Structure 1
């Protein structure tokens, strides 16, 4: 089995604090990995390192055999947890920007996703509700034919119907030659898609494994395991 992501002894320190400590994990090609944990557990830092936006303090990180940086940005489609689109842009202009920046952007796929999300190219980002902005951002991310998709809390601001639309797009976009890392606290909504799960707490891996193996060994759902690991922290 080919490993698209390989992380060994990864540590990231900021002044006075440690965001990640001795992280070792792999993501096989064709797998969806759930990256789970409460706020402040290190999920976003790990994702930004994989996206080539933050440099590790020590350890080894490879994406498709390459150190994250300019070369890997061409094969990684990253959805950050904050809106990165300018308010003055229209949805279509955001698509033009992605098409200019990423050679793997599929305009036809983008148009199909906008229709699924009930968005139009002429709508201004600044006029959209929070949920509609999230759908626009997801349409852009899923319109790339990337090798690795990294989604940081992609369901913020989405109502149940919109979440269903996004999940349908997630399934339709996934290919056997790519992998996906998905961070969410809405575990119940998406756990059926997980091949592998990693639980982080205070920058460390506290539990990891194949999702079905964890369910079998613990006789519990991933959401129930989440509550057990984090002391019955509520998922949304």
Structure 2
């Protein structure tokens, strides 16, 4: 990994100018392909932010970098004032776009696993979400539909008492009729001072829940701002703005 920073990895740098998540000149390359291209971003606490863009625009790469699971980048990345590492991971709950849970285990095993692994895991909160989603803790994951497994993973991720939640396409594999219920589950226990960054291309389904958005294309931010401000400026819904940006 090659990073550029005037600060030591453990030094905290949360300021009014640099938000709970702060990125400067972030670049990631996969061989000859540039996934993130000199990206700058500041996201404050107390926000629900939609990370929007087409497949391949760099959303997942950005989330992996913020979560500290991808480290081959250049630039300066700060989460809670810390470069990606043990200090930042302690305050981040990350839900990847693919499950890493073993197929053969039961839901109750997943609860025990998260309880052992994460000191901020609230098992009561997880059980409440699992119950709300109508799931049985005795079920094995391999017996579940894709949508049911998504609900298990969301229950686990949102039961941590984290400051930053990074969700990668959490409702993409879910039947449209079930999306409202899952969205309610994601938001029901969200602390007022936390930051939720959710990557999605399903803008219409999330529009009413979002405070602000970051629209990406070709590894760069092409539009960002508060949802209400963007609606007023463009005289259109967020979904209409999104479609216009990606038609150009």
Matched, 1:22 2:22: no
Deviation at 1:184, TM superposition (A): 0.9
Task: Please give the alpha-carbon distance, in whole angstroms, between the structure 2 residues aligned to 1:139 and 1:93.
Answer: 13
Match of 2:230 in 1: 214
For these two proteins, the number of residue pairs brought into alignment is: 232
Match of 1:75 in 2: 91
Match of 2:5 in 1: none
- Runs (4+) of structure 1 exceeding 6 A deviation are none
Q: Trace 1:109-124 onto structure 2 (pairs within 5 A).
A: 109-124=125-140
Match of 1:95 in 2: 111
Match of 1:106 in 2: 122
Q: SS where residue 65 of structure 2 aligns?
A: helix
CA contact (8 A) 2:106 2:140 kept: yes
Tell me which moved more, 34-43 or 13-22. 13-22
CA contact (8 A) 2:45 2:194 kept: yes
Task: Please give the alpha-carbon distance, in whole angstroms, between the structure 1 residues aligned to 2:198 and 2:58.
Answer: 14
TM-score norm. by structure 1 comes to: 0.95
Task: Please give the alpha-carbon distance, in whole angstroms, between the structure 1 residues aligned to 2:208 and 2:21.
Answer: 22
Q: 1:5–1:75: structure 2 CA closer, same or farther, 3 Å change rule?
A: same
Tell me which moved more, 181-190 or 158-167. 158-167
Task: Please give the alpha-carbon distance, in whole angstroms, between the structure 1 residues aligned to 2:75 and 2:194.
Answer: 24
Q: SS where residue 182 of structure 2 aligns?
A: helix
Task: Please give the alpha-carbon distance, in whole angstroms, between the structure 2 residues aligned to 1:174 and 1:17.
Answer: 36
Deviation at 1:160, TM superposition (A): 3.0
Matched, 1:50 2:66: yes
CA contact (8 A) 2:172 2:200 kept: no
Give unmatched runs, 5+ long, in structure 2: 1-15
CA contact (8 A) 1:10 1:56 kept: no
Task: Please give the alpha-carbon distance, in whole angstroms, between the structure 1 residues aligned to 2:206 and 2:198.
Answer: 9
Which digits, 9 at most, give the CA deviation of each residue in 1:169-227, with x for residues without a partner?
A: 12212111210101111111111111111111110111111111111100111110110
Q: Which of 229, 232, 236 is residue 245 of structure 2 equivalent to?
A: 229
Q: SS where residue 41 of structure 1 aligns?
A: coil
Task: Please give the alpha-carbon distance, in whole angstroms, between the structure 1 residues aligned to 2:75 and 2:228.
Answer: 29
Match of 2:210 in 1: 194
Match of 2:12 in 1: none
Deviation at 1:56, TM superposition (A): 4.6
Give unmatched runs, 5+ long, in structure 1: none
TM-score norm. by structure 2 comes to: 0.90
Matched, 1:65 2:81: yes
Deviation at 1:72, TM superposition (A): 1.5
